[in-house]
Amino acid sequence: MKASVYILLCLNVVFVAVTNNALAVTNNYQTHLEKAQWDFSGDAFGCEITHRVQSFGTLQLIAKPGEAITLTLQSDWLDLNNNQSLASVISPAWQAKNSLQPPTTVLNWLGVSASSQKNTAAFLEALEQGLTWQIAISTAETNYQVSSSPVATQKVANQFRICRQQLLPQPFSYLRRLDLRFASNSSHLLASHEQDLYAVYRYLQADPSIKEILIDGHADASGDHLTNLLLSKERADEVMSRLIELGVPISMIQVRHHGNRAPIASNNDVTGRELNRRVSLRLVKSATNKMASQGASK
């Protein structure tokens, strides 16, 4: 008897939970087509498409150097930590259905912002096709459906694509301090070095606040001190020469070589020696720019 009563109580709880979920109200948010607007802004440091969803917040598509496209929903009032929402591309009802699943991505919430970098290129393609973005948000109390307004989207999508092609190869956070690794007893520049040095050159063209490039050559402890000192100089000189060939003014470059005097790892094993065979390259911004950056971050 007790077992049957317990089962009935459990079934009742499940029924109530399912019923409450089925009856949960879904609040829809979408800007009316006549008021809808898509805005583009961008330069070598980043590209952005912004779309305002009336009474809810802002949808954004963001591209930055060295990163995948980010899809973001910024809410004006909904705060959801440790939650996820499904973003989908929705075709209009009149469009013929096909067998392919619509592109989707999962947005991860942090406070009032939800974002994803997975499968986001499909959302740019959706803008080119005039399709709708739709985000389904579920909370314990209410469900929300946030939709973009598919009007005049092709122009901003094209501007965004062109902007992405002109982005810097890497951001300052990557280039500010580079360690270029070298093979044993070699000062030969690798293909990865060439890519990084070209990225440095491109960044210098875009950011006039960089006033100096510090280049420091190093070697591991294999061999005698004088040989290592000369090898570290050859490595540093190779990096400097390549930057000058690319178009970096020699007046911006300061070169030093240290042999094996400044290891960053133990020279007693292979891994440590690989880390010590390096040229460190550092970009130095002007003091004025540093103060402005610190003030903006406060």
Q: What is the pLDDT of residues 22-40, one digit of tens each?
A: 456 899 999 999 999 999 9
- Domain 26-165 CATH (choose: 3.90.550.10, 2.60.40.2540, 3.30.470.20, 3.40.50.280): 2.60.40.2540
pLDDT at residue 101, rounded to an integer:
82
Chain-wide mean pLDDT for the chain? 90
Residues 6 or more apart whose CB falls under 8 angstroms from that of 201 comprise: 243, 246, 247, 248
Tell me: pLDDT of 116 over 70: yes
Q: What tens digit of pLDDT does each residue of 43-86 get?
A: 999 999 999 999 999 999 999 999 999 999 999 999 999 899 99
Domain residue spans of the chain: 26-165, 172-297
Nearest residue to 204 (alpha-carbon basis) of 296, 278, 280, 286: 286
pLDDT band at 296 (very low <50, low <70, confident <90, very high): very low
- What pLDDT does residue 43 have? 98
Closest-CA residue to 185 (of 240, 237, 232, 242): 232
Residue 96 banded pLDDT, cuts 50, 70, 90: low
List the one residue out of 251, 268, 267, 271 whose CA is nearest residue 259: 267
- Report the Cα 222 to chain-centroid distance in Å: 39
User: pTM of the entire structure?
Assistant: 0.83
- pLDDT-based confidence at residue 294 (cuts at 50, 70, 90): very low
SS3 61: strand
266's tokens: 């133990």
289 — pLDDT class (breaks 50, 70, 90): low
Q: What is the pLDDT of residues 237-268, one digit of tens each?
A: 999 999 999 999 999 999 999 999 999 999 99
Length, in residues, of the chain: 298
Residue-by-residue DSSP string for 128-185: HTTPEEEEEEE-SS-EEEEE---SS-HHHHHHHHHHHHTS-SS-HHHHSEEEEE--TT
Residue 5's pLDDT band, with cuts at 50, 70 and 90, is: very low
Please determine, looking at this structure, whether the domain spanning 172-297 carries the CATH number 3.30.1330.60: yes
With a CB cutoff of 8 Å and minimum separation 6, the contacts of 292 are none
